[in-house]
Structure 1
Amino acid sequence: MAAAWVNTATLNFLILLLCSDSPWSPSVQVSGRQEEEESVTITCSAPTPCPDSPPKLSWSLHQDPPHTMVTNTDGTFTTSIQQEMTLSDRHHGLQVTCSAVYPVSGGEKRADGSVTLRVEYSPKNTSVQLSGNTSLSVGESVTLSCSSRARPPVQNFSWFRLTSEGPQRVHQGHVYSLTFSCSTREQYFCQAKNQVGEENSPVITLGHEDASAGIGPYNIVKTCGIIALFSALLLIECLIQEKATTTLRQNQRAVSEDANYVNVECQV
């Protein structure tokens, strides 16, 4: 009768699996740089004491991924699954869970393993907050503040004013206080930057109310309408004055004619 050979490590694991209340938890690892737009591979591995009845692994991401079984250097077996992902800022803080279900006598035993993604990403949702009104008069002060979310946090805030020659850097820092000294409108935006990238905020316009309104078609029509209205009123006033002058002259002529008539009667 031939002696049966059993790997000691496999036998020990079988005994542990049968005697414990729950099997070993699978191991979940991420390979690759966890940064936005980078591709990473997430691997879930679980010990496999019985190659003929390997554990069934599944992701919280999706179900029924392809399984791979490898033989370890100590003679034991490991079953694994993999998932490739292209990262974005939305994946930061995502917990990826892998479940291993082992077939055992009388049913199944399940264990879970997980990993939390820590994704670095460039500034997002960069915006400008204004303390006060965008309509300013010369000499008035205003404070602008820039906000953005990023990982790692924003390292540098810069402020730019739009000019005819392009954006001009005017300040560096989270908050920018300025005194409006121009009778025309001015446009500003902030830029948030960290080691991953940068993002610009929408442009904000500051200026006198009339200047900030611009000279678009609507304003041109509005101005022409006002001029036409004043012209019409002036014309009506001139007509009224002319009519009044004409009436006055007619009355004066009539009085003069009556006076001449009286003088003629007196001479007769």
Structure 2
Amino acid sequence: MLMWLRMAPALHLIFLLIIHIVSSADWGVNYRSSHICALKDSSVTISCTFTYPSTGYQIMEVFWNKDLVKQGVELANLSEDPEYSQRLQYLGDEQQNCTVRLSHVTEKDEHEYYFRFITNVTGGRWIGYPGVRLSVTDLQLEAPERVTEGDSVRLTCKSSCKLTDTPTFIWYRNSHTLTEGLTDNKLILDPVRREDAGRYRCAIDGHTLASPDVYLNVTCEPPPRKVSVLINGSAVMESGGSVSLMCISDSNPPALNFSWFKENQSSAVGSGQSFSAVQSGRFYCEAHNPHGAQRSDAVSVTVHHGSGRNIIIITVTSGGLLVIIFIIIIILCIM
């Protein structure tokens, strides 16, 4: 008996410590996800459970709120907020489940949401912090403005955040549903055909929201390709001569118009398939056909003037291959 009395204070401390640990662990709110990305005008379900001591406590009030305010200020019940009262539905109970559903979400609903419960014991209240961050997105269709028949074309249905629910994307061309070429949020047209031209939009199965229409233009023939500049004529120049350049391309239909430009100048310095360069600079050409234009790599022409002689150096850059042709013309003043 004496031994028990001596051990009692120590046992009492251990008992209090155990009670404290169990008590802290018995309070809490658990959310299935800390971030939800939802489609505009859809319904969002925030799954939630909560715990509190099973003995001596009784739930008096449960509610959801958003965006914590200053400490000491009571949090507002969203079900009493006019912006939420008709759209917020509590699906839980007053025991463990605190799941809630918010319908017809818009960008104005992008907040952090918290669950709060209050018991019959003074100080016996809890808020689930941190809460659940809600992001709301629409759909945008990303597609090239112009493609050529035979190309491989990819259209992408994009959202500003990754949708929480695994979505099934639906694709439309001229309001008709497409069933081929679908890969997740992408539509692959390989090869693209003339009949693939039209208005495209994407949506998600089970939702009414769709992306804005995007028109895909499929041309029959490509713009000029493999445009390059060639040096025409003899590489030997006399004093006061010029360097003749020619613009060539692989084009069907063939290129009919050509423009010449000097780098760092916005306006053209010449037109026609041939061009005579009489001064130093980097020159390139643009070839045009009814389906578009393509420019060549640059040709550098450098003219050095010396006493009694002119030296013209031409440097051609094409396709990453540097070809340097040195043409030295020496005109003797006295034979």
Q: Structure 1 length as normaliser, TM-score?
A: 0.37
Bigger RCO (CA 8 Å, 6+ sep): 1
Q: Structure 2 length as normaliser, TM-score?
A: 0.31
